[in-house]
A and B are shown apart, each in its own frame.
Chain A
Amino acid sequence: MSTSATSPLSVPPRAATRPPVLEIGGLCVDYGVGDGAVRALHDVDLTLRRGEVLGLAGESGSGKSTLAYAVTRLLSPPGVITGGDVRYHPRAGDPVDVLAMTPRELRAFRWQEVSIVFQGAMNSLNPVHTVRTQLTDVLRAHRPQMSRAERAGRARELLSLVGISPDRLGAYPHQLSGGMRQRVMIAMALALEPEVVVMDEPTTALDVVMQRQILRQLVRLREELDFSVVFITHDISLLIEFSDRIAIMYGGRVVEQAGAAEIYRDPRHPYSHGLLHSFPALHGPRRELTGIPGSPPDLRAMPSGCAFHPRCPKAFEPCGVRTPHLAPVTDPGTGADTDTDTGRSVACWLNDDRRDGEA
């Protein structure tokens, strides 16, 4: 598609006009079965469009990593996908249902179409193998027709892609700095030129200078290779800078979804508002900040109604009883048309215009 590969990351050329690449609908995930089951994801609807960076923000326990694992079908046993669907749209051909894939199809799908950079990627490298072995392993598995020399060449190419000198191919992970290990993980995720890269807190363990360096590289790679990114982090100020759209999760639900600048300028959900006001600003007046009172909810004992209502400064009578669902926002500033396009939506009773029929 004409996703204009040269445009900078932060200015999506009408993100709304791009076709979707990954559609998540009504996804539910439980940990455990029967009475002891804990619901980690409730009816999550999300759409990732081709070539965009979708930020996924939330606190620990909000379900962001669970979502990433569910989408790639990597959930390990206590986790069960209990409902919903995940549709992947290949560049050519009909959409496929990821959740219905056979193990064989799944094996071809993973890494080839959707790859993942794991949380704590710094420690995800095997310490007893060289970078070369680990990078070529992917190619050996997915591209059996490649010759040894071709694989080595591709590995060298991948390393230089992420700004590491190819002569480090023979290095073991412990010989690399944290930032370099992180970049090796990113190189590995890009080895098969996937359409979607899921990044689960890829830079959390790094300090800010290295973080920015890696993100910059990511922006450049995304322009060159034209893939879509799901970027998971708890650092919403980072997302505002680096993503096109942001979905904010709380207690296993997406509570707000909007363009990055829109969320920053005008958060609609009180939780988004609280999250944005939990980061001290670098510039401007120094103001007293409070964070959000209380603690994140316990998944074993979720509050009734809106999961955020015990901590919400604006909670009112329906909040404790009925659960609000994601509904489009009517924004007088931009008009209804834009809203439906960018999919700006919020799950809060304060946004009550269209709440009838939602509960």
Chain B
Amino acid sequence: MSEERSEEHAAPPPGAAPDTAPGPGPGTAPDGRVVLEAEEVSKHFPVRRGVHALLGGERRAVHAVDDVSLRLRRGSVTALVGESGSGKSTVARLLAQLHPATAGEIRLDGRPVRAGRGRAFRAYCRHVQLIFQDPFASLNPVHTVRYHLTRALRIHGRAGSGAAELEKALAALLERVQLTPASRYLDAFPHELSGGQRQRVAIARAMAAGPRVLLADEPVSMLDVSIRLGVLNLLRDLKERLDLAILYITHDIASARYFADETLVMYAGRMVEGGDSETVTQHPAHPYTRLLLASAPDPDRVTGGSGDGAAGGDGGNGGKGADPSASEPPSLISPPAGCRFHPRCPLAMERCRDRTPPRFELDGGQWAACWLYDTSQDAPAAGAGRGAAS
């Protein structure tokens, strides 16, 4: 299904990665619908060396993302949920090839990519586009909508030949993001548009490349509440009509439930749980996902029956020692050994402190990286192997 475009594929830059044979694919029959996938990708940012390091200290790094694997399928929305600092945006940037990965592999249509800069990067951008959080910052204030879109169309060779074709392409783009009539918006400057309209322009600019993958990094969190859903519904509509694969990064787990088919939860640079959105939000397996869900504002908690008393009691009790929310996410420079959530986890066991839990498969495609779900009590290694192989 993607063969027709393979000639413009992001080939690795010559000499950069000589052996690009997709070697270790342990029994994973290539799913035709997977467009972009990341396998055990890590990203460490070096910490600037201070006086201590110069005097012989070890080199330190921020472990922003560790061993993250995910797959984006055509016509499907995958949500990546986590608190700030959990590494979700870094994942998007890795997938967009804005940062080189420290370890692991990113594959487009099953082929490893390591687009550096220049031609290879541009070819990659044609397939994978990124939408940023803040439409107030991502559009240049001194240029009109027409300039932003024309530039994107030209760069990706989709402007057609001649002014008439360009005009047609521009109108089609704006119509696709429901900014009609196009003439009203084409010559507007960003400051003349509302937040929602600006984000639509940013989406139109991403669509100008004709991508197959959209990486949306908190696309609605800067927008007014009443227009967020409009933008999400637009993205959903684009996904359905154009068979896009969308990565939806958010800290709002309720919107992930609403918008995404699949939800992945990240904590402190690692994926802790994943599965069908409905399952993850209704039957969370990982203690962190449960904490996240319990923290989300939920009017039903108060108004539903005796919720009043419960919520009040919650607030009133002074025993904050047992409250997992009372502590904070760990430093990513020296992350805790074992499961990174164990210092806050109410269910932490002995081995959580020193061994990193692998993925354990649960029912219905759900998985959790938590020792609670290790079924083979005495031989955890076997469980680990099973988790990793899938």
Contact = CB atoms under 8 A, between A and B. Distances in A.
B308 A10 contact: yes
B18 to A, nearest CB: 43
A9 to B, nearest CB: 6
Nearest to B312: A8
A238 B230 CA distance: 21
Interface stretch (A75-83, A103-111, A260-268): A260-268
> Number of contact residues on B: which range applies?
35 or more
A282 B302 contact: no
B1 interface: no
B80 to A, nearest CB: 14
Given A8-B312, A240-B299, A280 B255 contact: yes
Interface stretch (B206-214, B313-321, B375-383): B313-321
B233 A290 contact: yes
A209 B303 CA distance: 21
Contacts of B294: 212
B197 interface: yes
Interface string A211-226: 1110010011001000
Interface stretch (B47-55, B163-171, B220-228): B220-228
Contacts of B312: 7-11, 219
Most buried by A among B226, B228, B314: B226
Contacts of A240: 297, 299, 302-303
B253 A282 contact: yes
Given A209-B295, A241-B311, A235 B301 contact: no
B196 A216 contact: no
Contact of A237 (B83, B298, B326): B298
Given A240-B299, A241-B298, A59 B224 contact: yes
A278 B315 contact: no
B278 A286 contact: yes
A296 B224 contact: yes
B282 A283 contact: yes
Interface string B220-253: 0000111111100100000000000000000111
B84 A207 contact: yes
A67 to B, nearest CB: 18
Nearest to B304: A283
A209 B278 contact: no
Contact of B258 (A8, A59, A223, A286): A286
Contacts of B225: 59, 234-236, 275, 278-279, 291
A241 B297 contact: yes
Interface string B302-337: 110000110111111010100101101000000000
Contacts of A126: none
A179 interface: yes
Closest 9 CB pairs of A and B: A8-B312, A291-B229, A280-B258, A219-B315, A207-B83, A292-B226, A240-B299, A295-B194, A212-B295
12 contacts: A59-B224, A208-B83, A210-B83, A211-B295, A234-B224, A241-B311, A264-B299, A264-B303, A281-B300, A282-B293, A296-B194, A296-B227
